[in-house]
Amino acid sequence: MAAPHDGAEGAACQAMIERALASSAAVRTLMRAMERAGCPVDRAFFSCERCAQECQGGYDRARGVILCQQHMQNSRSLIEATMVHELVHAYDDCRAHVDWTDLKHHACTEIRAANLSGDCSFSQEFARGNFNLRAQQQKCVRRRAELSVAMNPTSQGSKDVKDAVAAVWRHCYNDRAPFDAA
Ligand SMILES: [Zn+2]
């Protein structure tokens, strides 16, 4: 059943995808890296839908990157951060064949996606009401990675989640590929 503004909301989401593809250096860097890694993607890789869950987007091997149109708030920076976040998952899946049932695998790609996407940028954190900005990046990345891994059905509780994130933290937080490539 479509919501009253479903059509306009979907169209706005599609238009923001077009704009991000044309103007976001981070989106283009990731798409080029996927091509080099043997997983070329194009416009059709991105779709908008009304998501059932309280998430901004998702990545699925079969369906590509999904943007949750009702949560995009007509915000260019939010949709770009979401596209980059999900593209980091897609890139990791391409280059490292992520085993989504392995919490450490999942934790690693969530750490990278949160760290590299702008999810934890000044304005996004400010909008969430986190005003203590000193050393906020690491705390934010850790918190968001833990929240994402907690949604993994394999997880048996918060200790499992914290252990998985801690086990891969240093390596994955410092792995900035493909953004560190010359
Ligand atoms: Zn994620």
Closest by CA position to 178, among listed 18, 19, 56, 32 = 32
State pLDDT tens for residues 16-38: 999 999 999 999 999 999 999 99
Cα 4 to ligand 1 centroid, rounded to whole Å: 29
pLDDT interval class at 81 (50, 70, 90): very high
Cα 59 to ligand 1 centroid, rounded to whole Å: 8
Which residues are tagged catalytic? 86
Domain boundary among 97, 124, 149: 97
Cα 84 to ligand 1 centroid, rounded to whole Å: 10
Count of domains for the chain: 2
What average pLDDT does the segment 78-101 reach?
Answer: 96
Cα 79 to ligand 1 centroid, rounded to whole Å: 14
Cα 122 to ligand 1 centroid, rounded to whole Å: 19
Q: What residues sit around ligand 1, an ion, with C-beta below 5 angstroms? A: 110, 113, 148
Q: Determine, yes or no, domain membership for 182.
A: no
Residues 27 and 78 in one domain: yes
pLDDT score for 134: 53
**Domain containing 129: what range?**
99-176
Residues 151 and 104 in one domain: yes
Q: Determine, yes or no, domain membership for 141.
A: yes
Residues 106 and 63 in one domain: no
Q: Residue 132: enclosing H or E segment and its boundaries? A: none
pLDDT score for 133: 59
pLDDT score for 85: 97
Q: Residue 76: enclosing H or E segment and its boundaries? A: helix 76-96
Q: Is the pLDDT of residue 131 over 70?
A: no
Q: How far apart are CA 130 and CA 134, in angstroms?
A: 10
Residue type, 103: L
Residues 169 and 106 in one domain: yes
- DSSP per-residue letters across 78-89: HHHHHHHHHHHH
At 176, list the tokens.
């900035």
Q: What SS3 class is residue 45?
A: helix
State pLDDT tens for residues 144-177: 999 999 999 999 999 999 999 999 999 999 999 9
Q: Determine, yes or no, domain membership for 154.
A: yes
Q: What are phi and psi of 51, to 5 degrees?
A: -85, 145
Q: Is the pLDDT of residue 6 over 80?
A: no
- Is 13:20 a contact under the CB 8 Å cutoff? no
Q: How far apart are CA 120 and CA 94, in angstroms?
A: 24
State pLDDT tens for residues 58-74: 999 999 999 999 999 88
